Structure 1
Amino acid sequence: MNKVLSMFWSFFKIGAFTFGGGYAMIPLIQAEVVDNKKWIEKDDFLDILVIAQSFPGALAVNASIFIGYRIGGVVGAIMALLGTVLPSFTIIYFIAAFFMQFRNNYYVDLVFKGISAAVPMLVLIAVVSLSNSINRNYMNFIIVIVTVIAIAILNIHPVLVIVISGIYGYLYYRKKVE
C-alpha cells in the first residue's frame, strides 16, 4: 500500500506542475517511474507509451493508468489516475470559478505567455528522450520520415498512421522472428 500511495503522490506532483498536456508530462513521468523510483524499465515505459497512445484519451492519463496497474493492480491504476487528474481538475475548477475576475489581468497574461513558451520545449524533451530508446536502423528511419510526411504534409489522420504502422510492424517484424 505504501508503494501505491507513493505512486499517487508522484503522479499528483507531476499533474500539479506540468503545463501543456500529456506530451509535456511524459519526460516527468519517465524521470519519476523509470529513473528515480525504478518501478519499471525504460523499454517497458516505451511499450506503455505506445499502448497508451493507441487508446482514446489523454496520453498521460492512459500511461498513468497502465503504469499504476503494473505497479499496484486495479487499486494502483485508480490511484495513478486520480493522482494525474486531480490537480488539473482542481486547478481548472478554480480557474473557471474565478476566471472572469482576472482574465484581463496584465500580470496573469504575462505568466501564461511564459508558460506557453516553455511547453514546446517540454514536448521536445519527450521526443528526444523517447527517440533515444528506438533502435537506430534504416527501417525505423524510413518509418519516421514516412510518418512525418503522412501527417504534416499529406494531412493523413494520426490514428490512421498509427494503425497502418502497427499493421506494418506486425507484418515486417513477424517475418524477422520466424
Structure 2
Amino acid sequence: MNLLFQLFFDFFKIGLFSIGGGYAIIPAIRDQVVILRQWITYQEFTDIITISQMTPGPLAVNTSTFVGMRVGGLAGALLATVGCIFMGVVITVGLYKLFSKYSYSAYFKEMLKGLKSASLGLIASAAAIILALAFFGSENIKLSALNMSSVIICMTALILVRKTKLNPIVIMILCGMMNLISLI
C-alpha cells in the first residue's frame, strides 16, 4: 500500500476511534506509529509529543502533522493531518445535532457521564505512558533506569504551575534550561 495513503488511512482510523481527544489519543497514535508501523522510535514519539505540546493547536493534530512530516514529508504531513481531523469534524457536527435535540434527556446526560469517565481513563493511560518514557526512557519501568534529573524537572514544573502564575511557556523554557544545566 502506498505510504502516503497508509498515513492518511492510519490517522483516519485514529481520528475515528479516539474518544476523548488530546491526551486520550496518545496511546492510539503510539500503538499505530511506534508499535505497529514502526515508523518512529519511542524516543522520537516522546519528542514529537513534547513539541506538539509547545506548538499552537490541538495535540492530536500537531502530533499527526509531525509524524506525517517525519514519515512522508510535506505531503505526508498534510494527509496525516486531514486523516486525523476528518472524522472528528463529521462526528462533531453529528453530535452537535444530537446534543441540540436531546440535551435535556436524562439518558443522554447519563451517557455523557460515562463518556467523561472513559475519557479520564484514556488520559490517565496517556499520562502513565508519558511518565514512563520521560522517567525511564521506555514503557518498561526498571528502577535502575530512573532518570532523576527528569523527576526533579517534572516536580519543579508541577510546583511552578500549581504555586505561581508563570506562563507555561516560561516554565517549559526554565525546565529546558534546567536539563541543559544537568548535562554539564
| TM-score, shorter chain, exceeding 0.5 | yes
- Give, in whole Å, the separation in 2 of the partners of 1:120 and 1:110: 16
| Displacement of 1:19 | 2.3
When structure 1 is superposed on structure 2, of 12-21 and 77-86 the one drifting more is 12-21
- Give, in whole Å, the separation in 2 of the partners of 1:116 and 1:68: 30
Residue in structure 2 matched with residue 156 of structure 1 by the alignment: 166
1:105 is the counterpart of 2:105: yes
Task: State TM-score, norm by structure 2.
Answer: 0.86
- Give, in whole Å, the separation in 2 of the partners of 1:157 and 1:21: 24
CA spacing shift, 1:54–1:101, aligned 2, 3 Å:
same
Query: C-alpha offsets along residues 73-109 of structure 1, whole Å, 9 cap, x if unaligned?
Result: 1111011101111111111222334532122223222
Query: C-alpha offsets along residues 9-36 of structure 1, whole Å, 9 cap, x if unaligned?
Result: 2211211222222111011100111011
SS in 1 for 2:133: coil
Query: C-alpha offsets along residues 94-141 of structure 1, whole Å, 9 cap, x if unaligned?
Result: 233453212222322222111101112111111111222224232222
1:114 is the counterpart of 2:114: yes
- Alpha-carbon RMSD: 1.8
Q: What one-letter code is carried by the residue in structure 1 that aligns with 2:113? A: K
When structure 1 is superposed on structure 2, of 17-26 and 38-47 the one drifting more is 17-26
| Displacement of 1:69 | 0.8
Structure 2 residue runs of 5 or longer lacking an equivalent are 137-145
Query: C-alpha offsets along residues 47-83 of structure 1, whole Å, 9 cap, x if unaligned?
Result: 1111111111111111110000111111110111011
| Displacement of 1:171 | 4.0
Residue in structure 2 matched with residue 145 of structure 1 by the alignment: 155
| Displacement of 1:4 | 1.7
Q: What one-letter code is carried by the residue in structure 2 that aligns with 1:5? A: F
Q: What one-letter code is carried by the residue in structure 1 that aligns with 2:120? A: P
- Give, in whole Å, the separation in 2 of the partners of 1:77 and 1:149: 36
- Give, in whole Å, the separation in 2 of the partners of 1:16 and 1:34: 19
User: Where in structure 1 do 4 or more consecutive aligned residues deviate above 6 Å?
Assistant: none
- Give, in whole Å, the separation in 2 of the partners of 1:99 and 1:128: 32
| Displacement of 1:161 | 1.1
Residue in structure 2 matched with residue 19 of structure 1 by the alignment: 19
Q: Percent identity?
A: 32
Structure 1 residue runs of 5 or longer lacking an equivalent are none
Residue in structure 2 matched with residue 90 of structure 1 by the alignment: 90
Contact 2:24 2:126 in 1 (8 A): yes
SS in 1 for 2:19: coil
